[in-house]
């Protein structure tokens, strides 16, 4: 059927079948020629969609693909709530009935620009003026919460068998990010943190520093993931990857006394204030939370007087010291659960000291040899 008009709309409609499926809707055009051109474009889109769907043996509407992605793997991510928020944001942006075959490089580029216009979210009520004063999200946030999420959706569909002729060029969509600095904790700073430490949070921060595990991995650590028999902590980490960390003597000394404080979660805190509404009793222990631990960390840092040290820098401190002690990049990569050794190479600066020391030893050795020769003459 060619384009046609109905009494209910001033626009031409299109209605055709391809591959056993019906495609129909408004052309949003009042002139027949323009409507026929619109229909031709829709037919080309339909051909691509049918071709890709036959390979995937499933719907390629972004809403459907996201549901399958969630059920198959995304719900098991280290932070599933954040994953769902990011997936839902893209579905709402494109429209759940939009086929992935319609999302080409240009539309993905528009999505990146849209996400770049968002502002950092903050808890609590604010006026419109206060909201407008919040900073825009960083390039890294755009990359991780939008571009790489969309790329993951495409990758999942391709793993199912879909083929995309106009897949976005992902490398061109990624925004530049400043090179992440590596900050090492100095002895006097560690002493200052210890002096400002809140007693009930001391085991948590000791574990963070001794393990080098990510903040969220530590906050949600469960006893089911701790095995004193095999001397291992085994859990899912960033990107859903399996993280295995050895329980050394120092780690055991931190974790073993915590048994019995909570049946499920390893790290707990003592409630300083009661709250009848949520059933919290002053003086009792409860599992640490993401936001609560962040607040405690900010207070510890402020009371310690240490500046320019972020929570994530504990992980940098661990990686730097481990590489300095071992001199083995592959070992550090495995210990820190880096998928790409490029991430580990940011710590390679510590090896410069070893190189300098080796060069100095060679120079001294040669100098010593020349001195012996002169004496012999």
- Please give the pLDDT value at position 172: 96
- What pLDDT, on a 0 to 100 scale, did the predictor assign at position 237? 66
User: Both 339 and 225 in a single domain?
Assistant: yes
Q: Are residues 197 and 247 in the same domain?
A: yes
Q: Do 90 and 217 share a domain, yes or no?
A: no
For 317, the domain range is: 187-352
pLDDT at 371: 60
Q: Say whether both 95 and 218 belong to one domain.
A: no
Q: Are residue 335 and residue 257 in the same domain, yes or no?
A: yes
Instruction: Confirm whether 167 is domain-assigned.
Output: yes
153 and 252 assigned to the same domain: no
Quick check: is 270 in a domain? yes
Note whether residue 263 is domain-resident.
yes
Round to whole Å and give the CA distance between 86 and 79. Answer: 11
Cα-trace Rg, the chain: 29
| pTM (whole model) above 0.85 | no
Give a three-class secondary structure readout of 24-72: EEECCCCCHHHHHHHHHHHHHHHHHHHHHHHHHCCCCEHHHHHHHHHHH
pLDDT reported for residue 355 = 60
Residues 27 and 124 in one domain: no
* CA dist., res. 126 & res. 120, Å (int): 13
> Do residues 217 and 298 share a domain?
yes
Q: Which residues are registered as beta bridge partners of 285?
A: 270
Residue 196 is predicted with a pLDDT of: 96
Within this chain, do residues 202 and 314 fall inside the same structural domain, yes or no? yes
The CATH number given to whatever domain includes residue 340 is 1.10.443.10
Query: 66-75, pLDDT tens digit by residue?
Result: 999 998 998 8
Cα–Cα distance list, 231 to 67, 155, 330 (Å): 37, 36, 21
pLDDT at 332: 87
Task: Kindly state whether residues 258 and 344 are assigned to the same domain.
Answer: yes
pLDDT one-digit tens code per residue, 272-318: 988 888 888 999 999 999 889 999 999 999 999 998 898 889 999 99
Q: Evaluate the CA torsion angle 13, 17, 18, 23 in order and state its sign.
A: positive
Decide which of 173, 199, 229 is a domain's last residue: 173
pLDDT at 81: 79
For residues 192 and 317, membership in a common domain is answered with yes
pLDDT of amino acid 6: 86
Q: What parts of the chain have a pLDDT lower than 50?
A: none
Q: How many domains does the chain have?
A: 3
Q: Are residues 261 and 298 in the same domain?
A: yes
């Amino acid at each position: 059927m060619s384009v046609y008009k109905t009494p209910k709309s001033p626009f031409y409609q299109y209605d055709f079948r391809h591959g056993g499926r019906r495609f129909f809707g408004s052309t949003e055009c009042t002139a027949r020629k323009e409507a026929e051109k619109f229909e031709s474009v829709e037919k080309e889109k339909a051909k691509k969609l049918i071709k890709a769907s036959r390979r995937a043996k499933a719907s390629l509407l972004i809403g459907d693909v996201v549901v399958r992605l969630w059920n198959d793997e995304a719900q098991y991510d280290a932070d599933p709530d954040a994953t769902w928020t990011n997936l839902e944001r893209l579905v709402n942006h494109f429209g759940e009935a939009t086929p992935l075959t319609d999302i080409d490089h240009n539309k993905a580029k528009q999505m990146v620009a849209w996400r770049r216009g968002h502002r950092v979210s903050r808890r609590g009520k604010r006026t419109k003026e206060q909201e407008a004063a919040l900073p825009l999200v960083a390039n890294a946030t755009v990359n991780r919460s939008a571009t790489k999420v969309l790329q993951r959706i495409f990758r999942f569909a391709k793993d199912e068998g879909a083929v995309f002729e106009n897949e976005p060029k992902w490398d061109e969509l990624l925004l530049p990010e400043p090179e992440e600095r590596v900050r090492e904790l100095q002895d006097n700073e560690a002493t200052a943190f210890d002096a400002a430490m809140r007693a009930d949070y001391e085991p948590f921060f000791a574990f963070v520093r001794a393990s080098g595990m990510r903040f969220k991995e530590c906050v949600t650590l469960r006893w089911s993931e701790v095995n004193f028999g095999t001397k291992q902590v085994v859990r899912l980490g960033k990107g859903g990857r399996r993280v295995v960390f050895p329980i050394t003597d120092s780690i055991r000394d931190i974790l073993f006394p915590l048994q019995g404080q909570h049946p499920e979660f390893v790290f707990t805190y003592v409630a300083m204030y009661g709250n009848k509404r949520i059933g919290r009793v002053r003086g009792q222990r409860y599992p640490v939370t993401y936001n609560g631990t962040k607040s405690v960390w900010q207070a510890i840092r402020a009371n310690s007087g240490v500046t320019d040290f972020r929570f994530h820098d504990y992980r940098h401190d661990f990686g730097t010291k481990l590489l300095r002690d071992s001199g083995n990049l592959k070992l550090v990569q495995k210990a820190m659960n880096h998928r790409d050794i490029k991430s580990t190479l940011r710590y390679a600066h510590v090896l410069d000291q070893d190189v300098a020391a080796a060069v100095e030893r060679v120079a001294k050795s040669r100098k010593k040899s020349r001195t012996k020769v002169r004496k012999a003459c």
